[in-house]
Amino acid sequence: MKKLIALFMLAGFLFSPVITKAQDADESAEETTEEVVDQDEAEEEAAPAPEPAAPAVVDDEIIDEDKGFHQIIKEKFIEGDPTFMSPVLICLILGLAVALERIITLNLSTTNTKKLLANVEEALEQGGIEAAKDVTRNTKGPVASIFTQGLMRYTEGIEMVEKSIIAYGSVEMGRLEKGLVWISLFISLAPMLGFMGTVIGMIGAFDAIEAAGDISPSLVAGGIKIALLTTVAGLIVAIILQLFYNYCVAKIDSLVNDMEDASITLVDMLVKHKLTK
């Protein structure tokens, strides 16, 4: 028994260094692993956070967003060749100038015919023809001018008053329609100039094909682009001026109807005034 105990003690004494070395190796390995982990964590913390990827945007789209409407129009004007686009632009400017002048003139020519007739009738009852003349002379508009011409012929009879109103009504109608022929001219001229640019652009495209001896999209693209841009420009100008033209025509028709109705009422007033005189 004592011999077994002595053998166990001897074995333990012999293996104890090996066990100790193994434990030390395990501890050093654990420490090394912990150091590596700590170092990795430190590097991850020190590394800057990756920036979010910016959305891919095409340069052309950015440029288009920054451009204004006037800049786009300017570029299309240049791309359409100023040689062909300039006459179309001149038609637009001149047509708008005449149209705006007509609109202002027609609006200033509008008269409250009911109020004018009431004032004339009151003047006839209180002061006679001369008082009625003063009322019409102090009122602006074609209707008042026609009334003035009719009242000036009152002494020559009702028939002369009617003839004077009809004759002077034609004169006033001509004044109202003044300038419309120019708007109509620009409405017709703008698309024609655009189509002329279209034809010339197509001729240039076919000349390029003939010179190159081959049909290539890059050869004909420039000529076709000029053709399309000039056509669009001419049509846009014609549409804009047509709207103003129709407004002026409608306004003139309204004024002419007011003149005719008011003239008939004036003649009836003069007949009534002559009978009651």
Instruction: State pLDDT tens for residues 222-258.
Output: 667 777 888 889 999 999 999 999 999 999 999 988 8
| Predicted local confidence at residue 133, as pLDDT | 86
| Predicted local confidence at residue 125, as pLDDT | 83
189 pLDDT above the threshold of 90: yes
| Predicted local confidence at residue 214, as pLDDT | 66
Mean pLDDT of 195-215: 76
The Cα 174–Cα 168 span in angstroms is: 10
11 pLDDT above the threshold of 70: no
Q: Tokens 């104890």 sit at which residue?
A: 16
**Which residue would you say has higher pLDDT here, 81 or 59?**
81
97 pLDDT above the threshold of 70: yes
8 pLDDT above the threshold of 50: no
Contact (Cβ atoms closer than 8 angstroms) between residue 268 and residue 193 = no
* pTM given for the model: 0.67
Percent of the chain with pLDDT over 90: 18
207: confidence class by pLDDT, cuts 50, 70, 90: confident
Contact (Cβ atoms closer than 8 angstroms) between residue 189 and residue 91 = yes
The Cα 27–Cα 24 span in angstroms is: 5
Mean pLDDT of 110-114: 84
The Cα 150–Cα 160 span in angstroms is: 8
Contact (Cβ atoms closer than 8 angstroms) between residue 165 and residue 149 = yes
| Predicted local confidence at residue 158, as pLDDT | 82
Tokens of residue 197, six digits: 């640019």
| Predicted local confidence at residue 5, as pLDDT | 45
Q: Which sign, positive or negative, has the C-alpha torsion 62, 64, 70, 72?
A: positive
| Predicted local confidence at residue 117, as pLDDT | 87
Ranges 11-20, 35-44, 193-202, most confident: 193-202
Contact (Cβ atoms closer than 8 angstroms) between residue 151 and residue 162 = no
| Predicted local confidence at residue 33, as pLDDT | 47
| Predicted local confidence at residue 238, as pLDDT | 94
The Cα 260–Cα 268 span in angstroms is: 13
What is the identity of the amino acid at 206?
F
∠ CA 96-100-105, rounded to 5°: 150
